[in-house]
Amino acid sequence: MYNVMIVDDEPVIRFGLKASVDWTKEGLHYVGDYPNGEEALKAAEGLTIDLLITDIKMPVMDGLILMKEMLQRFPRLKVILVSSYTDFDYVREGLQLGAVDYVLKPTLEPEEFTKLIQKCVEMIKMDRMVEEKLALVNQTTLIREQKGLEHVIKKVILEDSSLDELHRKVGWLKAPFLLLTMTLNHNDKLEEQYGFLYKTMILEDVQNYFYKNIDEGICFSVNENQMFFLLNTKVDPYVDIERLKKVLEQETNSSFTVGFEMINDLFSVKEGFEKSRLASGRRFFHPNESIFRYESFQEGKLTSLDIKWLHQILLPYDKQGLLEFLRKRFQEWESKMALPMEIKNDACEIFGHLFMKQLELDELMEKYKQIKKIETLEGVRKTLLLQIENYAELSYHKHHHPHGDNAIMQKALDFIHGHYTEELTLQLVSSHVHISRNYFSVLFKRFIGENFIDYVMNLRIQKAKELLENTSMRVYEVAEQSGFNDVKYFSKLFKKLTGSSPIDFRSRSQSPL
C-alpha cells in the first residue's frame, strides 16, 4: 500500500477530506493529518510518503514550502493542493512545482475528490512500474557483465588460458581485488544424510544469492564443495568476508571455511586463487577457525612408510603393535605440518596395506576417496583408528561366515524397504542387522553397487512419483509421505533426478494422451 497524509490548519477540512475517501479500498495507508507543514515533516521522518494532500496557506510552514521539502525527500511524490478562490496565484506556482491538481474547499465533492485520488494512485503505480523495469534492465546488464568476467576468470584459473581478455572485461570492477575460496564444511555428514546432489544444490543457492544481491564481483564453483569469489573491497577484508560468510550460512543453513588473498592486478589472479585455496585448507590443522589469510610457510615432508614393519604386525595380526605404529605416524603428521593431501595419501597407503586382502579393488578405491574427503587432521586419525576395529570384524566374517553376508543384506534390505519413508540412517540399519556402521557401508556398496543414502533417496523419489501420479496431494504432503522433511530440498532434488519439477511431472503424467 502507498502512504498518504493530509495537511490543513482547519480541523473541519482535515476531517472532511479524511472521511470522503475509503483509503484502504484505494490501496492507500492513511498515515495521519496535521495542522501545518512543520508537523507533517516530523511525521514523515523514517517513512516514504507517496501522496501529499495539503492546504496552501497555513501558519508555521505553508503548503508550498512543505511541498518543496517533501519533493526533495521523495522525488516521486504526488501532490494535491487544497485552496480557496483567493489562492489562485499560489495554485499556479504549486502546479509549476509539480502538483498533480488542486481542489477548491468551497466546492469540494467527495466523488470528484475520490476520482482525483484514483488518478494519483495510477500515476504512483506507473512510476513504480517504470522504476522496476529500469532496475531490471540495470540488473540484467550488470549480471551479463559479471557472467562475462566469470567466464574469462574460469578459463584463466581452470584452463590456463591467456590473460589478454581480462582487462577488457573488468572495467566495472576496481582494484584492490579480494580473492576467496569458500569451502563447504561437514561434507561427509551432508552426503550421508542427503546424498551427493545436496552439496551441488547448496553451491547453486550460494551463486544465485550472490548475483541477486551483490553488484561488484563474481563467484563460481570450482569443484563439488568449493566456490571461488572475486570481489572489490574498500574496508578491512575480514569485515567483508565475515559479513558475506554470515549471510550465506544463514541463506543456505550451512557452514563454510574461507581462505583469502589480496591482489592489485588481475594478472595475478591465478596465483592469488591458488593461495586462497591453500589458505582455506589450513582448517585441516585448525578446525575451530573459519577464516584464513594466505601465509607463506614451509611444508614438511613425511618419511616413507616402513612397509616391512607394517606387514610384520599384520601377519600375524598384532593390534597393540598396529596402534603403536599409528601413534608414531600421527605424531609425525602433526610435527611435520605436511600438506593435507600428503597426509591423506599417507593414510590411504596405510589403509591399503591394512585391507588389501579383505576388500575388493573397487571397494578399496572407494575408501581412498572417502579418506581424501576428510576435512581435519583429527578426522583422519579417527578414521584410521576406527579401521582397526573394522579390520578385526572383516577378518572374522571372512573366516567364520563366508556366506553370511547374503543373509545380513537381505535382512537390511527388508528393513530399508519397510522404513525408507521414515528417518533412516546408516547407523540405524547397521544396528538392526548387528554389525558396525563402517562394515555395513562396505557390505552395502559391494552388494548393491551404490551408496546407502543414494539408494534410499531413489526409493523416496520413486514413492513421490507414485503419489504425484495417483493422488491429489499437495507437493509438501507428497514430500512428507515420501520421507522428506524439507519441501524445498525435495523439489530441487526431484527436478535434478527427473528433469521436471513435481508440479510439471504431475501435469504431464495426469494429462490425457
The whole-number pLDDT of residue 399 equals: 55
The whole-number pLDDT of residue 141 equals: 59
The whole-number pLDDT of residue 165 equals: 58
Q: What are phi and psi of 302, to 5 degrees?
A: -75, 145
**373-386 pLDDT tens trace:** 899 999 999 988 88
The whole-number pLDDT of residue 428 equals: 93
292: Cα separation from own chain's centroid: 21
Neighbours of 488 (CB within 10 A): 12
| 133-153 core/surface letters (b: 16 or more CB in 10 A; e: else) | eeeeeeeeeeeebbeebbebb
What is d(CA 68, CA 76) in angstroms, rounded to the nearest whole number?
12
The whole-number pLDDT of residue 502 equals: 92
Give the confidence band of 182 by pLDDT, cuts at 50, 70, 90. Answer: very high
- Mean pLDDT, rounded, for 53-81: 89
Q: How many helices (H) and strands (E) does the chain have?
A: 22, 10
Three-class SS state of 300:
coil
> Does pLDDT of 250 surpass 80?
yes
CATH of domain 2-129: 3.40.50.2300
> Does pLDDT of 231 surpass 90?
no
**340-366 pLDDT tens trace:** 999 999 999 988 887 777 777 777 787
Of the listed ranges 89-93, 115-119, 186-190, the one predicted with least confidence: 89-93
> Does pLDDT of 257 surpass 80?
yes
Helix (H) or strand (E) holding 305: none
> Does pLDDT of 395 surpass 70?
no
The whole-number pLDDT of residue 8 equals: 92
Q: What is the pTM of this model?
A: 0.62
> Does pLDDT of 367 surpass 70?
yes
Give the rounded percent of residues in the chain with a pLDDT score beyond 90. Answer: 33
The whole-number pLDDT of residue 220 equals: 86
The whole-number pLDDT of residue 366 equals: 77
Q: Is the peptide bond before 287 cis (omega within 30 degrees of 0)?
A: no
The ranges assigned to domains in the chain are 2-129, 173-293, 307-400, 404-510
The whole-number pLDDT of residue 208 equals: 86
Q: What mean pLDDT value characterizes the chain?
A: 84
Three-class SS state of 89:
helix
Task: Answer whether CATH 1.10.10.60 is correct for domain 404-510.
Answer: yes
Give the confidence band of 369 by pLDDT, cuts at 50, 70, 90. Answer: confident
**What pairs with residue 79 in β-bridges?**
52
Amino acid identity, position 317: Y
- The C-alpha cell that represents 176 in the structure block: 584492490
First-to-final CA distance of the chain: 46
The whole-number pLDDT of residue 172 equals: 47
By CB neighbour count within 10 A (0-12 exposed, 13-18 middle, 19+ buried), where does 320 fall? Answer: exposed
SS3 content of the chain, % helix, strand, coil (to 5): 60, 10, 25
Give the confidence band of 443 by pLDDT, cuts at 50, 70, 90. Answer: confident
**Do you know the residue count of the chain?**
513
Identify which of 159-168, 263-272, 436-445, 463-472 has the greatest average pLDDT.
463-472
Give the confidence band of 137 by pLDDT, cuts at 50, 70, 90. Answer: low
Bigger pLDDT: 344 vs 156: 344
Give the confidence band of 192 by pLDDT, cuts at 50, 70, 90. Answer: confident
Give the confidence band of 266 by pLDDT, cuts at 50, 70, 90. Answer: confident
* Architecture of the structural domain at 173-293: 2-Layer Sandwich (3.30)
Task: Please say whether the beta carbons of 55 and 34 come within 8 A.
Answer: no
